[in-house]
Amino acid sequence: MIYKTDYHMHSIYSDGRSVPEDYITAAIAASINEIGFSEHLTLFRDLEDWNMKPVNISPYINHLQSLQNITDSIKIKIGLEVDFYDGREKEISEYLKPLPLDYIIGSVHYLGEKTVDVGPEFYEGKSIDRLFESYFESVITAVSSGIFDIIGHCDLIRIYGYKPAMNMEPLYRKLAKAMKANNVAFEVNTNGRNRPLADFYPDRRFLHVFREENVPVCVNSDAHMPSRVGQYFDEAYELLRYIGFTEMAVFDKRVRTMVPF
Ligand SMILES: [Zn+2]
Ligand SMILES: [Zn+2]
């Protein structure tokens, strides 16, 4: 039996459709051993409607802790998906440090003022090679910041299916080496299948690079509704097995352990 975790979940505390209880029910039905919530948090810049308001962090944590106390059929983990952008690393790190979290997912959504998943028009008239390069540079800076335990959808820049002309392997290699050096895990994010890209993040053609560099992995659904908890996990596990992964990252109070799978 695979020990199943799904650590990337958005409830009504950010831009998800349902209360945490509904995701937990769905996770139990999908035989998931650990469910973790990771509401969007964007610190020190203007909030957008997909963000959790910082004032709601305490109610969110308290709510999940109360569910931990009444549920014993599944482990409930408390996380956040925090936006990374250059320049405020120190403040972001200080802000997050005292929070009683099991893990922090670091994600790059913003390149400049706009998010790369706001719509395909973001890409029009721009050099796709340059966009991919700057996206990867930002993710590598996030990895090196020491703030995060997991990097979310590490090549989200693929979301609309734009393909760079250059050979991407060196950038994936650089990213994987930085993750290993900074003890940061990557996720196979199955939600890419529901986006225009219609595939997982990261690009399966480069998963072998993460394996070769020995980067810890977990599989996450990035569910914004309960029906998507654990979605496509069997396919993701099969893919990881085929590539040669033999263990998965499990998080508890910001300590990572590896379990065989
Ligand atoms: Zn995200
Ligand atoms: Zn997310």
The ligand whose atoms approach the alpha carbon of 156 most closely is 1
What is the distance in A from the centroid of ligand 2 to the CA of 52? 12
Q: What is the pLDDT of residues 15-72, one digit of tens each?
A: 999 999 999 999 999 999 999 999 999 999 888 889 999 999 999 999 999 999 999 9
Helix (H), strand (E) at residue 189: strand 185-189
For 140-169, what is each residue's pLDDT tens digit? 999 999 999 999 999 999 999 999 999 999
In the structure, ligand 1 is a single-atom ion and the residues with CB under 5 Å from it are 107, 152
Q: Which ligand is nearest to the CA of 36?
A: 2
How far apart are the CA of 220 and the centre of ligand 2, in A? Answer: 9
Q: What pLDDT band is residue 246 in, cutting at 50, 70 and 90?
A: very high
What pLDDT is recorded for position 49? 87
119 token code pair: 């719509």
Q: Percentage of the chain surpassing pLDDT 90?
A: 96
Computed over every residue of the chain, the mean pLDDT equals: 97
Task: Give the model's pLDDT for residue 197.
Answer: 97
Whole-number Å distance, alpha carbon 212 to ligand 2 midpoint, is: 26
Q: Quote the percentage of the chain above a pLDDT of 70.
A: 100
pLDDT at 220 over 90: yes
Centroid of ligand 2 to alpha carbon of 9 (angstroms): 7
Q: How far away, in angstroms, is 84 Cα from ligand 2 center?
A: 13
153 Cα–ligand 1 center, Å: 7
pLDDT of residue 123: 97
- If you average pLDDT over residues 127-133, what whole number do you get? 98
Which listed ligand is nearest to 117 at the C-alpha? 1
Phi (first) and psi of residue 104, to 5 degrees = -125, 125
The predicted structure's pLDDT at residue 75: 98
pLDDT value of position 47: 84
Cis bond before residue 202 (omega within 30° of 0): yes
Task: Give residue 212 CA to ligand 1 midpoint distance, Å.
Answer: 25
Instruction: Kindly give the distance from the C-alpha atom of residue 19 to the centroid of ligand 1, in angstroms, as a whole number.
Output: 19
Q: What is the model's pLDDT at position 164?
A: 98
Distance from residue 191's CA to the centre of ligand 1 (Å): 10
- pTM of the entire predicted model: 0.98
Q: Is 62 exposed, middle or buried (0-12, 13-18, 19+ CB in 10 A)?
A: exposed
Position 46 scores a pLDDT of 86
Instruction: Note the pLDDT of residue 127.
Output: 98
